[in-house]
Amino acid sequence: GWGTVDVDDVLAIIDTALDRYSFCDRARVGMLGGSYGGWMATWLAGHHGDRFRAFCSERAVNNATALELSSDISTAFNAIHGVNHLEDPDEYVRMSPITAVRNIDKPVLIIHSEEDWRCPIGQAEELWVALKLLGKEVDFYRFPGENHELSRSGSPLHRVQRGEIILDWFSERLRDGTP
């Protein structure tokens, strides 16, 4: 059910935080997520982009059908979704954020590791190429020698670089007065 009740829950949490905390500015909401959270970031960019100013999608699932063919845990998706991509290809297409790439109209930062076998680098490359071909604002950072765990256990230098990239990128796109 990716893209259904999970998205409703995330949007409800965001709305509650924006309503409850006066220091939260509705005009300056950014979204960052990694792995399933990266899927969520790309999904929200394509389906609810009007709610956000910018997105960072890290080590994401962007094309579920392709992931089913290439991930080191590909058989797990059958357990998660109840079917595999051969049994119900339409469901895998439905939950693939890449299908809504034309709707993305906010800046996107893509971060991915070249040795990520959980969500192989092709997931990021496909999104980046599509956004570039459509003339969208997108930045893509690839980390050599890193895997799916970059944010938690990657090399110290790359973890620092990743953090600086994210902070600088969002600082520029979420500041007051910028569209």
Question: Which pLDDT value is given to residue 157?
Answer: 98
Whether 158 is catalytic: no
Confidence of residue 133 (pLDDT cuts 50, 70, 90): very high
Q: Cα–Cα distance between 151 and 109 in angstroms, integer?
A: 15
Q: Cα–Cα distance between 155 and 158 in angstroms, integer?
A: 5
Question: Which pLDDT value is given to residue 178?
Answer: 54
Which pLDDT tens digit goes with each residue over 74-127? 666 665 666 666 677 788 889 899 999 999 999 999 999 999 988 899 999 999
Determine what percent of the chain is predicted with pLDDT higher than 70: 87
Q: Cα–Cα distance between 16 and 20 in angstroms, integer?
A: 6
| Catalytic residue (choose from 35, 47, 74, 158) | 35
Quick one: which H or E segment has residue 106? none
| Catalytic residue (choose from 81, 113, 148, 151) | 148
Least confident of 1-5, 17-21, 79-83, 140-144: 79-83
Whether 112 is catalytic: no
pTM above 0.95, yes or no: no
Question: Which pLDDT value is given to residue 31?
Answer: 97
